[in-house]
Amino acid sequence: MALSRDDIQNKISEVLEEALGVDQDEITQEATLIGDLGAESIDFLDISFQLEKAFEPDCSPDRPFKIEQGELFPENVLSDAELVENGRLTDQGMVLLKEKMPHVDFSEFEADRSVSKISELFTVKTLVDFCERKLSVCAA
């Protein structure tokens, strides 16, 4: 049976508690992973591994819940001079980021495009959306 959004959220909360050492009540939908929950870059690898493990039973073996490197948190966009200019994403950078992160709502970010605000895009809700989207494919 497909997981409900609440089930997905509960599994993600457990992963975040374990990976980031945060309390359950800190894990709100709006909480940003980096700013509010204190995630560092290596934590994204830990979170990816733990999500794969948590959702493994919900997917068929021939379509595993596999998070590719850079899928959750694009790594190369910010260091590419063609994609960032004066600390802001270029049009090309914006297109690439949207393409790489279809699970993220860019509506507020797009007005400013400041690279320093990219970390604010990664909220708990983003993570739930990301996993729900992946599960719709792998558990179908």
Partner 1 sequence: MRWMWIDAITDYEPNKRLVAVKNVSLSEEHVHDHFAATADEPALPMMPNSLIVEGMAQTAGVLVGSVNAFREKVVLAKIVRVNIEQDVVPGQSIRYDATIERMDDAGASTTGTIERLDHREGSWRPIGRIDLIFSHIDNNMSGLEFPEHNFVFGENFRTLLRTAGLDSVCG
The least CB distance from residue 67 to partner 1, in Å, is 8
Distances from the Cα of 107 to the Cα of 2, 41, 56, 98, angstroms: 29, 24, 32, 11
For residues 6 and 82, which CB has a smaller minimum distance to partner 1 in the complex? Answer: 82
Q: What are phi and psi of 104, to 5 degrees?
A: -110, 140
Q: Which is nearer to partner 1, 29 or 81 (CB)?
A: 81
Task: Report the alpha-carbon distance of residue 50 to residue 3 in Å, rounded.
Answer: 17
Residue 4, C-beta contacts closer than 8 angstroms, at least 6 positions apart: none
Which is nearer to partner 1, 19 or 127 (by Cβ)? 19
In the set 42, 81, 111, 140, which binds partner 1 (CB under 8 A)? 42
Q: Which residues make up the interface to partner 1 (CB under 8 A)?
A: 19, 41-43, 45-46, 48-49, 52-53, 68-69, 75, 79
